[in-house]
């Protein structure tokens, strides 16, 4: 049986959980809308770097979780650099130092 403080702690935990969840959803919607409202840009570019960031965590029960972030960094014909977080299929399909016409919309990679 929960005392009144245990019940209060549970309500506070649930409130914090739902506020954080709501903020994450609003951020994702905001990024989506921003990308949709951005123009589609095509420019000459060269892939200068492919990065693979791997993060492994082990919980108290010994269960290991690994997350991987795949990043492509392009140098545009203007000399500036732009990076995109992509999926495995795109990451594998593009070779480092490959050049061509880069097409993107906001922070969304479309094609090379």
pLDDT in tens, 54-106: 999 998 888 999 999 999 999 999 999 999 999 999 999 999 999 999 999 99
Q: Is the pLDDT of residue 34 over 60?
A: yes
Query: What's the pTM?
Result: 0.74
Of 104, 90, 108, the residue nearest 42 (C-alpha): 104
CA pair distance 56, 64, nearest whole angstrom: 7
pLDDT in tens, 57-71: 998 888 999 999 999
Q: What's the confidence (pLDDT) of residue 4?
A: 65
Q: What's the confidence (pLDDT) of residue 47?
A: 95
Q: What's the confidence (pLDDT) of residue 2?
A: 55
Q: Please list the alpha-helical segments (H only) found in 1-112.
A: 4-37, 88-93
CB-neighbour burial class of residue 72 (10 A; exposed 0-12, middle 13-18, buried 19+): buried
Q: Which DSSP string do the residues of 97-109 spell out, in sequence order?
A: T-EEEEEEETTEE
Q: Is the pLDDT of residue 6 over 70?
A: no
């Amino acid at each position: 049986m929960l005392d009144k403080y245990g019940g209060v702690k549970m309500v506070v935990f649930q409130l914090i959980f739902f506020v954080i969840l709501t903020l994450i959803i609003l951020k994702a919607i905001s990024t989506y809308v921003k990308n949709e409202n951005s123009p589609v840009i095509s420019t000459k570019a060269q892939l200068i770097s492919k990065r693979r960031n791997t993060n492994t965590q082990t919980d108290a029960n010994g269960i290991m979780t690994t997350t991987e972030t795949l990043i492509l960094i392009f140098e545009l014909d203007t000399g500036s650099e732009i990076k995109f977080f992509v999926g495995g299929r795109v990451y594998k399909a593009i070779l480092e130092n490959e050049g061509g016409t880069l097409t993107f919309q906001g922070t969304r990679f479309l094609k090379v």
